[in-house]
Amino acid sequence: MNTKLIAPSLLAADFANLQRDIEMVNQSDADWFHIDIMDGVFVPNISYGMPVLEAITKHTKKTVDVHLMIVDPDKYISTFKKLGTNNLTVHYEACTHLHRTLQAIKSEGMKAGVALNPHTNVNLLEDIINDIDIVLIMSVNPGFGGQSFIENTYTKIKNLKELIVKKGAKTLIEVDGGVSADNAKTLIDAGADVLVAGSFVFKSTNQIQTISELKTLANS
Ligand code: DX5
Ligand code: ZN
């Protein structure tokens, strides 16, 4: 079985000590940096934008996984590449021409991801799953960290995994929102490949140990 990955979400980091928190992730068992970009239109919150991402990627030594919660993501695809993005994920609900958007992301040399809001059925991806590198299943409503996990996520992961297997796709399943040591193993057993965790990591007293605990649970 492939190694299951852990992606701490910097949204829960201490922004006044961002470099310190990035170095912590660099030194930990984490695999990816998960970076949430919100525009206040697609979601009811604004996080941070290009200048902050540029500062972040000067220090990151691992895969930079950018989750765009913005309308009209097509406008910024090449900008995100220039800022050091490795994986670029757009929301299904924000893309009228999803196929075109995914091709544009891949033509920049990035992995292409599609995020699904909690109400969006995974079977809507049936005709495009073979073009998607990563499906990001939102297990909370996007916009804020620290929310509680939506239990229907397990069913969505299982259905998506079935679709991926049926279509012979190589797509990774990433889960984002309310992930902790309590649900990590169940999410992996349902079919998840990558676990995003914000508050659970950054609000813990020993962050390195918390990441290592998640990594062990995910690969047990
Ligand atoms: C929410 C973001 C998440 C968030 C997760 O819109 O996409 O990445 O940082 O935070 P937690 O792990 O605290 O739910
Ligand atoms: Zn996210």
Indicate whether this model's pTM tops 0.75. Answer: yes
Backbone φ and ψ of 90, nearest 5°: -110, 160
Q: Known catalytic residue: 36?
A: yes
Residue nearest to atom 12 of ligand 1 (CA): 198
Asked if residue 139 lies in contact with residue 153, where contact means CB atoms within 8 angstroms, the answer is yes
Q: Which long-range contacts (CB under 8 A, 24 or more apart) does 206-210 make?
A: 207/8, 207/21, 207/24, 207/28, 208/24, 208/27, 208/28, 208/29, 210/181
Domain boundaries, the chain: 5-218
Max alpha carbon distance in the chain (Å)? 46
- Tell me which DSSP letter residue 213 carries: H
Catalytic residue among 31, 65, 133, 176: 176
| Cβ of 116 below 6 Å from ligand 1 | no
Alpha-helix runs per DSSP H in the chain: 18-27, 50-57, 77-82, 98-107, 153-167, 184-190, 199-202, 207-218
Ligand number nearest to the C-alpha of 183: 1
Could you tell me which residues come within 8 angstroms of residue 135 by beta carbon, excluding any fewer than 6 positions away?
113, 114, 115, 116, 122, 125, 129, 160, 171, 172, 173, 174
Residue 82: how many CB atoms within 10 A of its CB?
11
- The ligand 1 atom at the shortest distance from the C-alpha of residue 143 is 6
Which one of the ligands is nearest to 143 CA?
1
Please list the pLDDT of the chain residue by residue as tens digits (220 residues).
Answer: 799 999 999 999 999 999 999 999 999 999 999 999 999 999 999 999 999 999 999 999 999 999 999 999 999 999 999 999 999 999 999 999 999 999 999 999 999 999 999 999 999 999 999 999 999 999 999 999 999 999 999 999 999 999 999 999 999 999 999 999 999 999 999 999 999 999 999 999 999 999 999 999 999 9
133 annotated active-site: no
Whether ligand 1 lies within 6 angstroms of the CB of 113 is answered as no
Choice from 6, 9, 10, 117 to test ligand 1 binding pocket (greatest atom count within 8 A of CB)? 9
On whether the CB atoms of residues 92 and 37 are closer than 8 A, the answer is no
Q: Indicate the fold that domain 5-218 takes in CATH.
A: TIM Barrel (3.20.20)
